[in-house]
Amino acid sequence: MAFHVEISPRAFNDLDEIARYIMEHGSFEQSEEWFNGIIAAIRTLEDMSHRCPVADESHELRQEVRLLLYGKRNRKYKVYYSIRQRSPSTGTVQIFHIRHWARKILDAEQIQELMGKLNP
């Protein structure tokens, strides 16, 4: 485990809202399965943080933002994160936002605002 993964309060709120929506429109079991699955996917960033592509939305930013996709077909979610490296093999992965893939694409200003909430 070379990288430490931090999930921002905003991203935890996103997870909670999505899980609640799944439970209200499905079942507790589906919600729990989704939540456990996305947390497991996020944990894989501890060892393979650079495997995900750079988000198209981040090209205007000074900081690289990466995008982990989780789910299948029309149930995909985007996990936005950035990496603060201390060395080539260690650092911190900061998860700052999670949203359904079909929602409107974020622009650079929106990403910057979400990232700014990591370290107020």
What pTM does this model have? 0.86
Bridge partners (DSSP) listed for residue 62: none
Q: Which residues of 17-54 are buried (b: 16+ CB within 10 A; e: fewer)?
A: ebbeebbeeeeeeebeebbeebeeebeebeeebeebee
| Low pLDDT (below 70) residues in the chain | 1, 117-120
| Domain ranges for the chain | 3-116
Average pLDDT of the chain is 88
Question: Torsion angle of alpha carbons 36, 50, 72, 20, nearest 10°?
Answer: 40
User: pLDDT tens for residues 65-96?
Assistant: 999 999 987 789 999 999 988 887 789 999 99
Q: What CATH number belongs to 3-116?
A: 3.30.2310.20
